[in-house]
Structure 1
Amino acid sequence: MSGERTSAGDPAHTLALLWRGTGGGAAPGPRRGPRRALDVDAVVAAAVALADEQGLAGLSMRRLAERLGVGAMSLYTYVADRDELLDLVLDSAYAAMPRRDTTGLPWRERVAAVAEENRELYRAHPWAAEVSTLRPPLGPGQTAKYEHELAAFDGCGLDDVAVDDCLTHLLVFVRACARDAAAAREQRRDGDDEQWWAAAGPLLARVLDAARFPRAVRVGAAAGAAHGSAHDPEHAYEFGLQRLLDGLAALVEPAETAEPAETVEEPAAGSRRGR
């Protein structure tokens, strides 16, 4: 995980920008400086494209200014700093996520659809999996994402805290798988993985004592033959998702047959969460 995190800027100014034009907050007034040729939406769209191409390391105010054809200092008339920009960029990616209507489907299919939507998010924007959202961006994109994902657990008989716990567990799993998948894609592009195994495999065969490590040798060989590598991110995701759903079934299916659980009233609970 990189050191990047959301909600590291000034809360009042960042929230006003996040909710600009929605009626949910007043956008910051114009700052002093030359007449502005862009708007915040154009700045954010360019920043998303830059992050998609170059990752978070390439998302700097200087590079963004070059892409937009403006002076670096002029960007500060749109966003206060890079911390604020990161919140805007991630919330924009959340807002653009496809959201499947799973109304009426069994709960496992609804929850699996949420997992796949997040997986697609990280495929389109690999950098998003590297941003810590322990303090979420709290913008309209993140809020709509959370509202949509909670609906996957409607009718499951769980109280509000259990629903949030289940969703958190699911999204943490998908995020971890996304980081592994991104690393595997990078290694395949560079040829590092094949080269490493070509060099390390024969060396390992000479030193690895099958009598001392019988399980490691036997299981490792079987898994490598089955998956074509030491780790197959696609298989790990599919296998793990089914096991995760099996685990949630221990909560959901008994609760569906029990009396409806009381909801836990907690002010602004929905606004606290971000993934």
Structure 2
Amino acid sequence: MTRDGDARTPGVDPEQLWLNPDRPRRGRRPAFSREAITAAAVALADAEGIDAVTMRRVAAEVGAGVMSLYSYAADKDTLLELMVDHVSGELPADGDLTGDWRADLKTVARLQRALMLRHPWLPAALTTRRSLGPRTLAFLEHALAALRPTGLDGATRLEIFAQLTAFVAGHVAHELTQTAAAQAPDRAAAEARYLAKVVEAGRHPELAEALAAPARPVTPEATFTRFLNRLIDGLDTG
């Protein structure tokens, strides 16, 4: 349903969203831009989380009436698409490639992780968006070029990039959860005691062996690098 109660086709029309000029669809041109609206929404999500982003709150941030905002973004789904593409502009789309596709792909992943850590709402947003804006497409083009030395066809390279992005988003989401959990040491201690008792019962020998292994570096960077290396170094291009 629309805000007026009329039925409409769900989803965002990418042609309408990305190929039209930056102007309202109807009425007099307001004294603000789609870019300003999107930047305000991003700042709000960064500060308070994605649930804080409503059309009314964003309108207040830019000093506009909420109805005039709908000229640029029909609903929150559309605004979310704009937000994702806006922050994707922070990713370098014309960086130098070394020709070592594994090294270049790891650089792509690290850039994605840094972006998602700057904008903690982004991993969840990526699971619901349905279109690729111009800034996102520019970085996608760069990533696909990084994979060209593999000799794989374009469709397979696109799948690898999608797999990589899903890995980074999932890892960052887990990383953010772990960071929050670290602020509750009692909970972590309780989890450790629970697992110790599970192992002592003797019914989970595989888990017991895993927990008895020498400790590995557990800093966020070390953990991400270890997982990333395992993923990319194991890719089969044959």
When normalised by structure 1's length, the TM-score is 0.72
The aligned residue for residue 119 of structure 2 is 125
What CA distance in whole angstroms lies between the structure 2 residues aligned with 1:127 and 1:8? 22
Q: Alpha carbons of 1:187 and 1:147: their partners in 2 closer, same or farther (altered >3 Å)?
A: same
Deviation at 1:10, TM superposition (A): 4.3
Matched, 1:75 2:69: yes
Deviation at 1:55, TM superposition (A): 1.6
The aligned residue for residue 247 of structure 1 is 234
What CA distance in whole angstroms lies between the structure 1 residues aligned with 2:198 and 2:148? 55
1:3-18 map, 5 Å? 9-11=11-13, 15-18=15-18
Amino-acid identity (%): 34
The aligned residue for residue 217 of structure 1 is 208
The aligned residue for residue 187 of structure 2 is 196
Q: Alpha carbons of 1:183 and 1:206: their partners in 2 closer, same or farther (altered >3 Å)?
A: closer
Deviation at 1:147, TM superposition (A): 0.8
Higher relative contact order (CA 8 A, sep 6+): 1
Of 127, 143, 153 in structure 2, the residue corresponding to residue 149 of structure 1 is 143
Of 104, 126, 138 in structure 1, the residue corresponding to residue 132 of structure 2 is 138
Alignment RMSD (CA, Å): 2.7
Q: Does the 8 Å contact 2:93/2:138 carry over to 1? A: no
* Segments of 4+ moved more than 6 angstroms: none
What CA distance in whole angstroms lies between the structure 2 residues aligned with 1:27 and 1:118? 27
| Most deviating of 60-69 and 118-127 | 60-69
| Most deviating of 203-212 and 57-66 | 203-212
The aligned residue for residue 31 of structure 1 is 26
The aligned residue for residue 225 of structure 2 is 238
What CA distance in whole angstroms lies between the structure 1 residues aligned with 2:194 and 2:103? 46
Deviation at 1:202, TM superposition (A): 4.0
Deviation at 1:204, TM superposition (A): 5.1
Q: Does the 8 Å contact 2:24/2:72 carry over to 1? A: no
Deviation at 1:67, TM superposition (A): 1.9
Matched, 1:94 2:88: yes
Q: Alpha carbons of 1:208 and 1:104: their partners in 2 closer, same or farther (altered >3 Å)?
A: closer
Q: Does the 8 Å contact 1:177/1:233 carry over to 2? A: no
- Match for 1:241: what amino acid? L
- Match for 1:196: what amino acid? R
What CA distance in whole angstroms lies between the structure 1 residues aligned with 2:198 and 2:144? 51
What CA distance in whole angstroms lies between the structure 2 residues aligned with 1:202 and 1:138? 46
- Match for 1:247: what amino acid? G
Matched, 1:63 2:40: no
* Number of residue pairs aligned between Structure 1 and Structure 2: 230
Deviation at 1:71, TM superposition (A): 3.0
When normalised by structure 2's length, the TM-score is 0.82
Deviation at 1:247, TM superposition (A): 1.8
Q: Which runs of 5+ in 1 are unaligned?
A: 1-6, 20-24, 255-275
What CA distance in whole angstroms lies between the structure 2 residues aligned with 1:109 and 1:132? 24
Deviation at 1:70, TM superposition (A): 2.9
